[in-house]
Amino acid sequence: MKFTKKLDLSVLGWFALLACVLVVLLGFIAFKEENREWKNVQKQYFATEQKVAAAQGREVTPSALALKQVMIKDLGRVDRCITCHVGIDDPNMTKQAVTDAGADFKVFAQHPDFETLMGKHPVDTFACTTCHQGQGLATTAADAHGFVHKWDFPMLGNNHKDEMTKYAQASCATCHTNPTDWEKIGANKLAMGREIVNDNGCVSCHKIEGKGGIVGPDLTYIGDKLPSQLHAALAFEPIKEAIREGKFEGVAKDHHIHDDVATWHDMHFMNPAAVSPGSAMPAYGFTEEEREALITWIFAQKKRNVPASYLKSGASAPVAAAVAQPEAKQAEPAKVAAVNAGSKGLELFGAKSCGACHAMTGVPGAVGAVGPKLDGIGKTRDAAWLAKWLKDPAAVKPGTTMPTLGLSDDESKAIAEFLVSKK
């Protein structure tokens, strides 16, 4: 008895020791692997730099391998991206020169749009993750780029080669706070996204900066939401299944998707109900370019936490709730007068996105299911009641979920006339 007990203990002891050795060994191997990755990339860079310099008739003294980082207290950033992307702010390392030297310009050349993006935002005051997101401290490419499960805010793109900066313009809004500047500073995708949001009645269902409907989730800080906080909890299985079932127009049934936030939004904009079963959000049929712009806008909806010295609010008005108050596309008065009342009502029905919530036979895009179908509404309601309702639904029926759409008296009347004219 005694003997076996002793043996048990010593066997256990040996196992424990072995386990410890293994853990240390594995840790060491992982550490070495990580070390090797950035060292290899940097070696390649220095070799490329020599070739480029030789071709340009310059001389550079070879540098020693070293981890490189920029630390910016005010922005709370410690970024090691330049450990691998060493040439990012070197004016000599042009795309052409690096390509001629036989190296990958995406990794080793100077930053695209160099004069603006590096010239106006120097590395030692702006770092990289300020515009890109990703994991600044990491020393492997995969971890740094952030499309890994333990990192919630990957680079502003998706997990496909050459598409990792697809939505990078979202970052411009952090500091260039005035949307009317976006086009001018070259953030054209971001500007386009905002326009699409204004033109498609998103605020009839979503609150944005305090204003809007309550049918869908508040979009004010949607760019800050962790994947798990999205309405459909970022479930990818339903999406993959829906793809196999052919529920996404233009997407092949064997198409493979990566589990990243941008891809979730992309599929959601294509077909909300397939991603989030039972969703009342309409499938708008946006083009790829439009979805790209929309997602850029989505990622820009973040709390701003940069010091005032970094803000570039521009000459004109402050941020304002510009998004919340769509600049109603005012048709020129002369043009409106020329059209008869019935078709003006139809035009407004489209412009105010009534069809996102109501179905109506024969009206293009009127497929919504949030409110009642409006076929034959003239049989139960007269034009005067409808005009009053449309102007301010809550005044007629307190607590109603139909939002107040900010219609003028004339607009309410025109739509009411259109509704009763449809048999």
The secondary structure of residue 367, as a DSSP letter, is: B
Judged by CB under 6 A, does residue 240 bind ligand HEC? no
Per DSSP, helices labelled H in 92-217 are 95-100, 105-108, 114-117, 123-126, 129-132, 141-145, 172-175, 188-199
Q: Binding mask 301-320 vs ligand HEC (x if CB under 6 A, - otherwise)?
A: -----x---x-x--------
User: Which is closer to ligand HEC, CB of 61 or CB of 305?
Assistant: 305
Judged by CB under 6 A, does residue 263 bind ligand HEC? no
Task: Report 50-89 residues binding ligand HEC (CB under 6 A).
Answer: 79-85, 88
The span from the CA of 118 to the CA of 72, in Å, is: 16
- Min. distance of Cβ 105 from ligand HEC in angstroms? 6
Position among 189, 206, 291, 391 found at the interface with ligand HEC (CB under 6 A): 206
Please report, for residues 114, 153, 165, 303, the alpha-carbon distance to residue 201 in angstroms, rounded to integers and kept in the order given.
Answer: 37, 28, 28, 23
Judged by CB under 6 A, does residue 354 bind ligand HEC? yes
Task: Report 91-110 residues binding ligand HEC (CB under 6 A).
Answer: 106-107
- Min. distance of Cβ 35 from ligand HEC in angstroms? 10
Q: Binding mask 388-407 vs ligand HEC (x if CB under 6 A, - otherwise)?
A: -xx------x--xxxx-x--
Task: Report 141-180 residues binding ligand HEC (CB under 6 A).
Answer: 141, 144-145, 155, 161-165, 168-169, 171-172, 174-176
Which segment (121-129, 250-258, 315-323, 329-337) binds ligand HEC by CB under 6 A? 121-129
Judged by CB under 6 A, does residue 185 bind ligand HEC? yes
Position among 87, 179, 212, 272 found at the interface with ligand HEC (CB under 6 A): 272
Judged by CB under 6 A, does residue 186 bind ligand HEC? yes
The span from the CA of 298 to the CA of 304, in Å, is: 14
Closest by CA to 90, choosing from 37, 139, 46, 39, is 46
Please, what is the Cα angle at 259 between 257 and 261, to 5 degrees?
Answer: 110
Judged by CB under 6 A, does residue 220 bind ligand HEC? no
Asked if 175 and 312 touch (Cβ cutoff 8 Å), the reply is yes
Q: With CB under 6 A as the rule, give the number of residues binding ligand HEC.
A: 105
Position among 87, 179, 212, 216 found at the interface with ligand HEC (CB under 6 A): 216
User: Which is closer to ligand HEC, CB of 13 or CB of 285?
Assistant: 285
Asked if 294 and 272 touch (Cβ cutoff 8 Å), the reply is no
Torsion of CA 262, 265, 267, 273, to 10 degrees: 160
Please report, for residues 78, 402, 422, the alpha-carbon distance to residue 363 in angstroms, rounded to integers and kept in the order given.
Answer: 55, 20, 10
